[in-house]
Chains A and B, each alone.
Chain A
Amino acid sequence: MVTHENSVPVARLGELERAVMETLWDLTADWDMTAATTDQRGSAAPRTATARQVSDRLGATRPLAYTTVLTVLDRLERKRLVRRLRERRAHRYGPIATREAYAARLMLEALGRASDRDAALVRFVDAVSPEEAEVLRRALAEGSGEPQGGAPVDQEGSGEPQGGAPVGGVPPDRQESGP
């Protein structure tokens, strides 16, 4: 599980994919703005960037070999997250969808009907209608009559603010050792 193509650890590869994707989104967002202001001449180009541009932009925060960036872009293309366009000698890369679109899709899947059909995710709560909201608010207010247990006003004193609560049961720390 440790070695992979170019011997970049898998865990790190995932993180790199995120970094490259972020950069690509940022770059293409910039392009969009300039394209809007300087008339639409390069009609095909605006939403793409070259691997070199990605590498340069990334280099500001984390120095990465150019070939690594190429590898990651390649993987992203195979995962259908990025599309590659040929332009003269250079390849240009562009995200298939915006970050917001992915976030919106994830949200719809999390809340929507589709998730009722399989056990892929477990929701904290389901959404409620306005009438139900009223009933819930009342239920919440009803209980406030008698303060139970500890001191309800003391907001700082009790409870860990991090929720990283002591780990027991299934050890998630085996993560690095692989299946």
Chain B
Amino acid sequence: MTTVLGLSALAGILACPIPALLARATWPQRAPAAGLVLWQAIGLASGLAGIGAGLALAVLPLHSHLLPGLDRLASQTLAGHPLAGLGVLNVAGLVWAFALTGRLAGGLVVATIRTLRCRARQRRLIDLVARPYPPSRHARVLDHPAAMAYCLPGLLRPRVVLTAGTLHLLDDQQIAAVLAHENAHTRARHDLVVLPFRALYSALPWVPWVARAHQAVSMLIEMLADDRACRSHQRRVLATALVEVAISAAGVAPAGALSATQGPLLARVRRLVDPPAPLPAWLPLAAYLTAFTLIALPTLLLVIPLAAG
């Protein structure tokens, strides 16, 4: 029983107050990497806790501990009477655990396949239509008057796409800063950080913290790439490029895609032009420790048999 309660409590805390607090905090903007790790830990831990709570509830009548309980459930399933000894509540827990696992795993698989397929199709078109940009190996120039830059990450052949409009709009330094930003994305595979959150979002869009996490993570990888670009380029140059491209792109974007972006973009520009004081060293450290604890807690609750039955 303790396991069920503990895991449920953890899932509850992870589903409500913690993401809300983290989404509102401003320190992740000063240490994007630590913020990202914390978000990942929250995602993983709440999944573990949510599924674990269901399983622990399901096997409660069979054994007071999860693992032996699961073992017994498995053997009685093999023997032909899977639900023997389970009450309505226990079956509900089992259904919940399976449904959640299926939804999460399915969402991840679907999102991955869809992303890879879409990316492959786009890359094929890019390679066909866009011309190489000699200064940067993976860069391509798309002949379109509106300014835009994006990257198609990939293990073997990443592509950084600039439009002709971008080359026209920005000066050489700004273009170099944009390329450095995009190359940072493709090199560090930031897309792999976002993918699970995107999958989570499409699997459980009605869970409030999921949308928040997706938004926060998307912004933090941009800040990470901004920081990387600013190691070799001036912050102001990159900030100007950001604003110029965003304004110019407004000419082509469908109206629906416009709003709700101001927050993250404004935050990016602000921290570029007016860099905040560096964080005290303990804060990122505390974030990493918290992340570790968040993952360790449900794992321990699941594996270690608790004394109180």
Residues of chain A having any CB pair with chain B under 8 Å: 14, 17-18, 21, 79, 81, 99-100, 102-113, 116-130, 132-133, 135-137, 139-140, 142-144, 148-150, 152, 155, 158-165, 167-170, 172, 174-175, 179
Selected from B115, B245, B272, the residue in CB contact (under 8 A) with A120 is B115
In the complex, whether B114 has a CB less than 8 A from a CB of chain A is yes
| Contact status of A136 and B243, CB under 8 A, knowing A120-B122, A159-B232 | yes
| Contact status of A119 and B195, CB under 8 A, knowing A103-B143, A110-B161 | yes
Contact B246 A160 (CB under 8 A): no
Contact A81 B128 (CB under 8 A): yes
Interface residues contributed by chain B, number (CB under 8 Å):
89
Contact B163 A107 (CB under 8 A): yes
Contact A113 B250 (CB under 8 A): no
Contact A170 B136 (CB under 8 A): no
- B194 cross-chain contacts in A, Cβ below 8 A: 119, 122
Chain B, 114-167, CB within 8 A of any chain A CB: 114-115, 118-119, 122, 124-130, 135-138, 142-144, 146, 148-153, 155-158, 161, 163
CA distance A147 to B257 in the complex (A): 34
- A81 cross-chain contacts in B, Cβ below 8 A: 128
Selected from B143, B172, B261, B266, the residue in CB contact (under 8 A) with A161 is B172
**7 nearest CB pairs, A to B:** A143-B273, A163-B179, A127-B253, A124-B149, A126-B261, A163-B176, A127-B249
| Contact status of A155 and B173, CB under 8 A, knowing A107-B148, A126-B265 | yes
Which of B232, B234, B235 lies at the interface centre, i.e. has the most chain A CB atoms within 10 A of its CB? B234
Residues of chain B having any CB pair with chain A under 8 Å: 111, 114-115, 118-119, 122, 124-130, 135-138, 142-144, 146, 148-153, 155-158, 161, 163, 172-173, 175-183, 185-191, 194-195, 198, 202, 221, 232-237, 239-240, 242-243, 245-247, 249-254, 256-259, 261-262, 265-266, 269-270, 272-275
Contact B242 A125 (CB under 8 A): yes
Selected from A17, A18, A123, A164, the residue in CB contact (under 8 A) with B137 is A164
- A108 cross-chain contacts in B, Cβ below 8 A: 252, 254
- A119 cross-chain contacts in B, Cβ below 8 A: 111, 115, 191, 194-195, 198
CA distance A130 to B258 in the complex (A): 10
> Chain B residue with minimal CB distance to A177?
B156
Contact A121 B122 (CB under 8 A): yes
Contact B153 A122 (CB under 8 A): yes
Contact B122 A160 (CB under 8 A): no
- B246 cross-chain contacts in A, Cβ below 8 A: 125-128, 132-133, 136
> Chain A residue with minimal CB distance to B253?
A127
Selected from A113, A124, A128, A175, the residue in CB contact (under 8 A) with B261 is A128
Contact A148 B173 (CB under 8 A): no
| Contact status of A123 and B150, CB under 8 A, knowing A162-B176, A175-B156 | yes
Contact B250 A124 (CB under 8 A): no
CA distance A155 to B179 in the complex (A): 17
- B118 cross-chain contacts in A, Cβ below 8 A: 118, 120
> Chain A residue with minimal CB distance to B261?
A126
Contact B266 A136 (CB under 8 A): yes
- B274 cross-chain contacts in A, Cβ below 8 A: 142-143, 148
- B252 cross-chain contacts in A, Cβ below 8 A: 107-108, 111, 127
CA distance A19 to B183 in the complex (A): 26
